[in-house]
Each structure stands twice: as C-alpha cells, then as structure tokens.
Amino acid sequence: MGQGTEGVTGVALVEVYRSNRRADCDERALVLAAIGVASELVSLGDSFALLVPEDSVTAAMTHLKDYDEEGRSRQREPGPIRAHPDAWLGSAGYAVVLVTVADCAARGLLGFDWFSSGELVSDLQEAGSCGAWSPRLRCTLTPAT
C-alpha cells in the first residue's frame, strides 16, 4: 500500500487497499464515496487495488480502518438450521390425534352427535330471510327453491 501512480486526471494516486477479490475493493470504494473521497479501482493481474488522490490518503485510510473494525465487531451469521433427528414424531403425533378424533366422531363416542354439535345454527337461516340486510347476504342465507 502507499504505492503512487498517475490517475486518468493527472492527479497522483496512492494505493489504500488491495485484495484478491474485486467485491472487497468495490465495497470499500462505496465507503469512500459515502464520505466524498474519489477513488479508482485498478486490476493488477491477480489482485485489485483501490487508489485515491494523494491529498485524501489520510481520510481514506482512517475511514477504511474504521470500516474494517466495524466489520469485525459484527456477529457472525448463524449456521444453517439443523433438523432435530426425531422431529417427525411431532407430525406423526398430530396425525394420530386427528385420526383418533375423526374415529371418535364417526363412532359417536361420549353419547352425542359430534357433527351436529359443531354445526353453527342461526336464526337467520331458520327464518329464511335477512330482513333489512343486503340482498347478497339474503341470497347466501336463504335456502334455494
């Protein structure tokens, strides 16, 4: 780092960051752009370098150092969720409960009709008319003739 070259505009440029990954240099160029420091990304064959004007080197280095420290302080992303080896037991248990309840309803256990006790009966359906309610509601609640 600190290697000087001439930029396209004729201003002396100094290398402030180098990486084998272009994405890392692009990221740091964005950081510098956010604080108003012009930068230039150059390919060096097997690596990439980020160059800034000579008069911006101190500000660029300070902000890039802060950016790197901030990146290290972040928590790592959690790893992939590992499935519990016996997770299928919960699904199997749920299926057993559903089948058991359906079987009890079909056999009429506990001495009452399970299907009619779960049925919603309202006065509107029995009356066959909705009175002052909307015609659409009346059509859905009145029996077809």
Residue 86 lies in a domain: no
Q: What is the residue-averaged pLDDT of the chain?
A: 79
How far apart CA 35 and CA 24 sit, in angstroms, is 17
CB atoms within 10 A of CB 89: 10
Q: Looking at the structure, do residues 65 and 123 belong to the same domain, yes or no?
A: no
How far apart CA 98 and CA 66 sit, in angstroms, is 58
Model pLDDT for residues 4-43, shown as the tens digit of each residue: 565 555 678 999 999 999 999 999 999 999 999 999 999 9
- What the block records as the tokens of 44 is 């060096």
Model pLDDT for residues 35-62, shown as the tens digit of each residue: 999 999 999 989 999 999 999 899 999 9
Model pLDDT for residues 85-128, shown as the tens digit of each residue: 898 999 999 999 999 988 888 888 888 777 776 665 555 444 44
Residue 15 lies in a domain: yes
Number of domains in the chain: 2
pLDDT band at 138 (very low <50, low <70, confident <90, very high): very low
The domain containing residue 63 runs over which residues? Answer: 4-73
pTM of the model: 0.46
Mean pLDDT within 55-74: 87
Residue 136 lies in a domain: yes
Residue 83 lies in a domain: no
Lowest mean pLDDT among 75-84, 86-95, 130-139: 130-139
Residue 65 lies in a domain: yes
Four-residue CA torsion sign, 5, 11, 16, 20: negative
